[in-house]
Structure 1
Amino acid sequence: MDTDRVRLCFYRLLQLFSTCAAFSLVASLGTGMGAVSHWSMFIWCFCFVITLITFIVQLGEYQPSLPFSGKSFLFTYACLATAFCLSASIMYAITYIQFLPHGPFRDQAAAAAAFSCIACVLYALEGAFLWLLFPETTFYFATIHGLFKLLETSVACIIFAFISNTSLHQHQPALVWCVAVYSICFTLGAVAMLLKLVKFESRLHTFFPHFLLGQTMLSVLLYASALVLWPLYQFNEEFGGQPQRSSDVSCSDELPSTLCIWDQKLTVAILTAINLLIHVADMAYWIHFIFIRSRASAITGL
């Protein structure tokens, strides 16, 4: 086994330990943690499982039988896992740890967040190492469009963490539509990343950028509708919303156990606006890309 492969295995062993430690520490705290904390646990468990599978595949040298480039997959996963663990660390800290009283439970929760941060750093180091190890390879997430997709996916995952609390949206069909918007756009983005990962664009060289532009334009329209409907039905009293934070009973407790419902609603509204801006920038990139390529083709054809 060469030195580079040993180094990658070392990274993965530490990643497995960190994500497993974070998950185990939070799981041992018991119930009553809230939807966001459960979502953080899901992220750590997901990263642990995928890292374990990747570790086994690499040790068994099964990569040639896979339908995609091993280098591209490893770099893609390292970037995604970095973003996921970072979001889990932040979400868990701001929605749960800060509300715990000083004592063993808070120390244990803080240790879990620390292990999550360590896992984030380890995944980032693996991504940087792969990027330096294969300078001749153009990795998807090292491109502008790839960075946009990484940001869109990361913000969507944070939104999912909050809307996993069904009390935020189950009482209004318009809010259920917003949840559908977040799910549809996330799925479209995942499909686009998967097609890039398996290099499907080589079969549709001319059409593929137009497909990505259409997918991004659809996401912009859907997110625009969510940006209107979510605040309208959450904070407008005429539509059953709560315009004032003080009107939310969950925000009135002196020692709340987690981030109150009204704050969660506001967080989703802010994240929706942020992701809409990212999608607009992504759409502008593809419009510019297609325009430049069309202009170059026209000049070449003269």
Structure 2
Amino acid sequence: MPVVLRVWSVLTTRVAIVRLMEILFGCIAFSLGIYTEGTNRNLYEIFCKATWGSFFLLTILIFFVEFTQFQTILPVSWKNLPITVASFGGFMNGAAAIIFPLFVIRNMECLTQMNRNHCIAMIAATAFSCLNCLAYGAEVYLIKMKQNEQHGYMASSLGLLKVFEVFASIIIFISVDKEDTGTFKNIHFFWWCIAVYCTCSLWSFTVIVIVIAECTGKCPFPFGRVLAAFSTFSVLLYISAIAYWTNFIDDKLEQKCSTAEDCRWMKVVIAAVMTGLNLIAYTLDCVYSLKKMCLRVETT
């Protein structure tokens, strides 16, 4: 099938302009991140650079597909895919803008050990990551505000909550470490939390894939009821996880952290905070799912 280019005026639409900004900001942030690559890379540095590089490529792909109208032959729901990528891009780039200075620039001590150009490049990468977060947020807003267009599930509050749930789980996974929590007397609860994160994040990611692949109609049970049931189950699981982190922080709160342990303590706090935020997200997910299910029952 030959490539059919759209009218060139499509490049002047607000969504297209925002996507071009995303491509520019992502390219600059990724290039600066690669330029400042250190010898002692940690998981946070890999996360930031992977975020900048992957969403730079994904945005180029989406822009090309819409410009050539290839979305009409792709076996995916195009009313759900772009806003899903934009939502993930906003959350991930926002997290990278916070994580990069806290766990990469700070650990490298660029002011004393690195040359001035590297230090400026790392600060600039953080700034462009923040700009990219704002650009992706603007794309989500523009897509949701489009009139005379049918919006998909991922553009709804439930869809955005699913994206946040997966995003929060990613931040938790790169933050938790057995060595950081190994001094807690009930280490078995730590592995229970890992099982909770894996189960809930896998389910949320599976829902996103099912919606984008337009397979909701193939579910042997009413899809809305399945979502409501599992969101309720996820709330109960996350309550047990937040109880673990509350006990762990209370157990360590009176101990003073040395300079070498500050980074580990910050990672524990991030994991605990993101667990709490994800509990709120799953609770809202549960409330919205039950409300939606009840409205469907009333209408029938």
Query: Which TM-score bucket, shorter chain as reference?
Result: 0.7 to 0.9
Number of the residue aligned with 1:4: 10
Within the candidate set 53, 67, 75, 2:75 is matched to 67
TM-score by length of 2: 0.80
TM-score by length of 1: 0.80
> Which has the higher mean CA deviation after the structures are superposed, 226-235 or 25-34?
226-235
Number of the residue aligned with 2:127: 114
- Corresponding letter in the other structure for 2:296: R
Which whole-Å CA distance do the structure 1 matches of 2:148 and 2:141 have between them? 11
1:210–1:290: 8 Å Cα contact kept in structure 2?
Answer: yes
Which whole-Å CA distance do the structure 2 matches of 1:167 and 1:49 have between them? 35
Number of the residue aligned with 1:43: 51
Number of the residue aligned with 1:300: none
2:84–2:163: 8 Å Cα contact kept in structure 1?
Answer: no
Number of the residue aligned with 2:140: 127
Q: How is 1:203-242 mapped onto 2 (pairs within 5 angstroms)?
A: 203=218, 207-233=222-248, 236=251, 242=252
1:19–1:119: 8 Å Cα contact kept in structure 2?
Answer: yes
Q: How is 1:188-267 mapped onto 2 (pairs within 5 angstroms)?
A: 188-203=203-218, 207-233=222-248, 236=251, 242-247=252-257, 250-251=260-261, 260-267=263-270
**Corresponding residue pairs, total:** 284
Q: Does 1:24 align with 2:25?
A: no
Number of the residue aligned with 2:3: none
Deviations 1:111-143 (A, max 9, x none): 001111222222233333334445431233432
Which whole-Å CA distance do the structure 2 matches of 1:199 and 1:279 have between them? 23
Q: Give 5+ residue unaligned stretches, structure 1.
A: 237-241, 252-258, 298-302
Number of the residue aligned with 2:282: 279
Number of the residue aligned with 1:181: 196
Q: 1:49 to 1:177 in 2, by over 3 A?
A: farther
Q: What is the RMSD computed on CA atoms of the aligned residues?
A: 2.9
2:83–2:143: 8 Å Cα contact kept in structure 1?
Answer: yes
Give the CA deviation at 1:260.
1.2
Give the CA deviation at 1:169.
5.2
Within the candidate set 159, 164, 172, 2:172 is matched to 159
Q: 1:206 to 1:5 in 2, by over 3 A?
A: farther
Which whole-Å CA distance do the structure 2 matches of 1:285 and 1:248 have between them? 44
Give the CA deviation at 1:37.
2.4
